[in-house]
């Protein structure tokens, strides 16, 4: 029996799904989580596509997807497949289809799997709002059945698998009209196609619910699992991905939050990390994400949520609501989540050290310049700071150190939970308690009793349990059940070797909780002091100078990706594919350079006009390839400048931002 959407919210288990055979690869039904990517070459360039596919396979891809925008590309899949097989690789190939059933019907006879997008397989998106009567809606479903069934029959005949891949940004007008731009609309979009396939007794199906917003994506997958379970009493395997995640650190963090949150609860049979980078660089990130679950089921036990059969969560895992907390200082209530920087291990703290966490000191004027990504608290352990701090920065330190501090409005003590239990003197004002959610549950129960009468305590919760997120979530559920509303800081520590592993670990362990509305702050630390000791598994993409800056950036990026605190420009860039009409990586870097000071503005950079506008989701402005050397600019979903020559398109985009009062000069920012 499912616990809402997962086999268990406290004990790591994979969700039971049907087994699907894709060529020689078995997926679902407890088989290892498969890793895949998608080529970015022109499908008509056979040699380039073969070479890139082989690079991806060599990097570890277990499935390679290739776009087939029209019949000619679908036909060319045969030449591509022949060459890959001749080179000795049996990795299954997947045809990516949008808008063209004819291409799908050709590809299904050639490759091992086809992916269709139910938002545009049959429907052309016109952004029309039509009111459908029930009879009209049923007639639409009949129309889909008529057009989709031939593909199902071909797949059955040729033993071809299929992914029904819904994208949040490209829901059909029919779905939008009835369900709106919602997670439930995404689910229904896939279910319409899945019901038709089941009617034909075709089950070689995998489903996906992608969005560039990890919150929407996670809710949609959870709802889909519940819906399949209720309607069919079984689940089909799930392909996980965050679309248009972007590049570098942000792309990895967004992907880790979306994909990792679901994997933590046992959901997901195959993953693709969509980065605006060469596809082979996606594979090490996938491996890092998947490897977190090796041996996970051996984690220390976490107390079950309810004693009886059925659990009753005190929050809704299918829609976002922030956990209600009362305010202590600037933490909790309606305050955005705070960021805490960890300087406990530094021998001495200097003015210049604070630059890494967003505070730049100008000696000549004796003033601090405060960035949008400036930490709110600094934990100094057993040290006091011997210079005047910036006005927005406060200090957390050990109790004895705090006793010696003269300015008690700036300094606040922290206790670890056992010391807090034995402490005879607790300050009346803001203080922090560090809690390991993996501690003995009897101890936790006693601790919560004491906290109930400590309204000014802020709880810093981490876990030494290998199933970190579920362990912290269990304690948060206990707080909610017992109506203890003290603010909570989510703590995560790791000692992973590579930057990618650290980003993925920190983002999954905290981001998944933020998506469920938990957390009034975030506190990250690691055991690595020197960035030189950190290595990337892909290519070098970070420009951070030291570990404090790395952790501070990561904290703000996690808050941004979970949409709980916006501190920078948001980029929604497609991963590119054979349809892409310009160099996406170079253009994304150019646009990022020009606009990365525009806090809160969402800019989409999309490779083609066929899918780009639909996939831009909730971007404020769009930069979309509309022909070779031509760019079309959008404000929301509205075209404002058509076919601008690409040499001047970034300047035109800046002009558009200015016309819409979304621009500020970098110096002012
Ligand atoms: S938006 Fe990007 S990834 Fe999607 S089809 Fe167009 S070029 Fe390919």
- Smallest CA separation from ligand 1 atom 3, residue: 576
- Smallest CA separation from ligand 1 atom 6, residue: 608
Long-range contacts formed by 80-85: CB under 8 A, 24+ apart: 80/43, 80/46, 80/49, 80/50, 80/53, 81/110, 81/111, 83/46, 83/47, 83/50, 84/50, 84/53, 84/54, 84/57
Q: Which residue has the higher pLDDT, 249 or 491?
A: 491
Question: Is residue 59 within 6 Å of ligand 1 at its C-beta?
Answer: no
Judge contact between 272 and 241, C-beta under 8 A. Answer: yes
Lowest mean pLDDT: which of 164-168, 394-398, 580-584? 580-584
Q: Which residue has the higher pLDDT, 434 or 126?
A: 434
CA distances from 110 to 73, 254, 523 (A): 12, 34, 51
Residue 539 pLDDT level (bands cut at 50, 70, 90): very low
Cα distance between residue 565 and residue 556, in whole Å: 8
Q: Cα(67) to centroid of ligand 1, in Å?
A: 9
DSSP class of residue 291 equals H
Percent residues over pLDDT 90 in the chain: 72
Percent residues over pLDDT 70 in the chain: 94
Judge contact between 311 and 9, C-beta under 8 A. Answer: yes
pLDDT at 299: 98
Indicate the pairing of strand 602-606 with strand 570-573: parallel
Lowest mean pLDDT: which of 15-24, 108-117, 210-219? 210-219
- Smallest CA separation from ligand 1 atom 8, residue: 577
Q: Is the pLDDT of residue 111 over 90?
A: yes
* Mean pLDDT score, 93-112: 94
Ramachandran region, residue 648 (left: φ > 0; alpha: ψ -120 to 50; beta: rest):
alpha
* Mean pLDDT score, 159-180: 88
Q: Is the pLDDT of residue 532 over 70?
A: no
DSSP 235-265: ---BEE-BTTB-SHHHHHHHHHHHHHHHHHT
Question: Which residues 6+ apart lie within 8 Å of 388 measured at CB?
Answer: none
Three-state SS for 286? helix
Q: Is the pLDDT of residue 535 over 70?
A: no
pLDDT at 617: 67
Judge contact between 601 and 629, C-beta under 8 A. Answer: no
pLDDT at 259: 96
**Closest by CA position to 36, among listed 6, 14, 57:** 57
pLDDT at 541: 43
Judge contact between 396 and 408, C-beta under 8 A. Answer: no
Q: Which atom of ligand 1 is nearest to the CA of 98?
A: 5
Lowest mean pLDDT: which of 287-296, 308-317, 533-542? 533-542
Judge contact between 81 and 114, C-beta under 8 A. Answer: no
DSSP class of residue 439 equals S
Question: Is residue 580 within 6 Å of ligand 1 at its C-beta?
Answer: yes
**Closest by CA position to 216, among listed 242, 177, 188:** 242
Question: Which residues 6+ apart lie within 8 Å of 448 measured at CB?
Answer: 478, 479, 482, 484
CA distances from 286 to 210, 274, 541, 598 (A): 16, 10, 17, 31
pLDDT at 24: 97
What count of Cα atoms within 13 Å lies in the side-chain half-sphere of residue 617?
Answer: 25
Q: Cα(281) to centroid of ligand 1, in Å?
A: 18
pLDDT one-digit tens code per residue, 320-331: 999 999 999 999
pLDDT one-digit tens code per residue, 448-490: 999 999 999 999 999 999 999 999 999 999 999 999 999 999 9
> If residue 365 lies in a helix (H) or strand (E), which one and from where to where?
none
Question: Is residue 608 within 6 Å of ligand 1 at its C-beta?
Answer: yes
pLDDT one-digit tens code per residue, 33-58: 999 999 999 999 999 999 999 999 99
Cα distance between residue 46 and residue 79, in whole Å: 7
Three-state SS for 273? coil
Lowest mean pLDDT: which of 212-216, 219-223, 607-611, 623-627? 607-611
The token duo for 540 is 């070098």
Residue 533 pLDDT level (bands cut at 50, 70, 90): very low
**Closest by CA position to 396, among listed 368, 373, 427:** 427
Q: Which of 606, 622, 626, 634 to mutate to test the pocket of ligand 1 (most atoms within 8 A of CB)?
A: 606
pLDDT at 544: 52
Q: Is the pLDDT of residue 118 over 50?
A: yes
Cα distance between residue 242 and residue 256, in whole Å: 9
Vertex 331, ends 417 and 213: CA angle to 5°? 105
**Closest by CA position to 612, among listed 646, 656, 577:** 577
pLDDT one-digit tens code per residue, 541-577: 444 568 899 999 999 999 999 999 988 888 888 777 8
Q: Cα(624) to centroid of ligand 1, in Å?
A: 10
Cα distance between residue 235 and residue 30, in whole Å: 12
**Closest by CA position to 271, among listed 210, 205, 185, 215:** 210
Q: Which of 115, 277, 611 to mutate to test the pocket of ligand 1 (most atoms within 8 A of CB)?
A: 611
* Mean pLDDT score, 299-309: 87
pLDDT at 575: 75
pLDDT at 396: 98
Q: Is the pLDDT of residue 246 over 60?
A: yes
Positive/negative CA dihedral, 168, 170, 175, 179: positive
Q: Cα(259) to centroid of ligand 1, in Å?
A: 20
- Smallest CA separation from ligand 1 atom 1, residue: 612
């Amino acid at each position: 029996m499912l616990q809402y959407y997962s086999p268990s919210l406290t004990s790591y288990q994979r969700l039971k799904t049907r087994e699907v055979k894709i060529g020689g690869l078995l997926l679902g039904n407890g088989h290892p989580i498969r890793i895949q990517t998608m080529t970015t070459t022109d499908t008509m360039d056979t040699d380039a596509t073969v070479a890139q596919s082989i690079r991806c396979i060599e990097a570890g891809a277990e499935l390679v997807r290739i776009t087939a925008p029209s019949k000619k590309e679908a036909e060319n899949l045969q030449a591509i497949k022949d060459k890959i097989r001749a080179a000795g690789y049996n990795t299954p190939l997947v045809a990516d289809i949008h808008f063209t059933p004819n291409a799908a019907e050709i590809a299904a006879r050639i490759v091992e799997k086809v992916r269709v997008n139910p938002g545009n397989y049959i429907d052309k998106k016109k952004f029309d709002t039509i009111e459908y009567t029930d009879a009209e809606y049923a007639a639409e479903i009949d129309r889909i059945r008529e057009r989709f069934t031939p593909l199902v029959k071909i797949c059955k005949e040729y033993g071809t698998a299929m992914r029904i891949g819904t994208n949040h940004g490209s829901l059909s007008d029919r779905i939008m009209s009835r369900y709106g731009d919602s997670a439930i609309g995404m689910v229904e979009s896939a279910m319409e196609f899945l019901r038709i396939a089941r009617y034909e007794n075709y089950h070689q199906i995998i489903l996906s619910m992608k969005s560039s917003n990890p919150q929407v994506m996670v809710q949609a997958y959870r709802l889909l699992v519940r819906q399949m379970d209720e309607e069919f009493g079984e689940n089909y395997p799930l392909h996980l991905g965050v679309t248009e995640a972007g590049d570098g650190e942000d792309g990895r963090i967004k992907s880790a939050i979306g994909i990792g949150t679901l994997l933590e609860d046992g959901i997901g049979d195959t993953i693709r990390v969509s980065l605006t980078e060469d596809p082979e660089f996606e594979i090490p990130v996938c491996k890092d994400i998947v490897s977190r679950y090796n041996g996970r089921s051996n984690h220390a036990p976490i107390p079950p949520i309810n004693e009886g059969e059925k659990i009753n969560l005190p929050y809704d895992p299918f829609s976002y609501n922030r956990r209600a907390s009362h305010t202590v200082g600037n933490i909790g209530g309606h305050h955005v989540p705070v960021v805490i920087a960890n300087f406990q291990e530094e021998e001495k703290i200097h003015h210049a050290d604070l630059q890494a966490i967003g505070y730049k000191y100008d000696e000549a004027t004796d003033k601090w310049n405060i960035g949008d990504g400036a930490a709110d608290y600094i934990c100094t352990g057993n040290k006091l700071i011997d210079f005047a701090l910036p006005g927005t920065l406060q200090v957390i330190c050990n109790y004895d150190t705090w006793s010696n501090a003269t300015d008690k409005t700036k300094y606040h003590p922290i206790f670890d939970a056992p010391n807090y239990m034995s402490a005879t003197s607790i300050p009346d004002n803001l203080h922090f308690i560090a809690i390991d959610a993996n501690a003995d549950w009897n101890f936790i129960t006693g601790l919560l009793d004491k906290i109930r009468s400590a309204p000014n305590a802020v709880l810093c919760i981490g876990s030494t349990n290998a199933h970190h997120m579920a362990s912290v979530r269990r304690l948060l559920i206990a707080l909610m059940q017992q109506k203890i509303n003290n603010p909570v800081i989510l703590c995560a520590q790791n000692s992973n070797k590579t930057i990618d592993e650290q980003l993925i670990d920190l983002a999954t362990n905290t981001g998944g909780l933020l998506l469920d509305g938990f957390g009034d702050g975030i506190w990250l630390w690691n055991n690595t002091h020197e960035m030189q000791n950190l290595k990337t598994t892909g290519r070098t993409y970070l420009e951070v100078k030291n570990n404090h800056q790395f952790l501070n950036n990561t904290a703000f990026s996690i808050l941004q990706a979970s949409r709980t605190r916006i501190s920078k420009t948001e980029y929604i860039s497609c991963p590119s594919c054979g349809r892409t009409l310009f160099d996406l990586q170079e253009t994304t870097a150019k646009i990022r350079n020009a606009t990365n000071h525009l806090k809160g503005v969402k800019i989409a950079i999309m490779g083609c006009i066929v899918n780009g506008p639909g996939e831009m989701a909730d971007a404020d402005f769009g930069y979309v390839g509309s022909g070779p050397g031509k760019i079309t600019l959008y404000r929301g979903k509205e075209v404002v400048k058509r076919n601008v020559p690409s040499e001047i398109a970034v300047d035109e985009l800046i002009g558009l931002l200015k016309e819409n009062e979304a621009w500020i000069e970098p110096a002012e920012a």
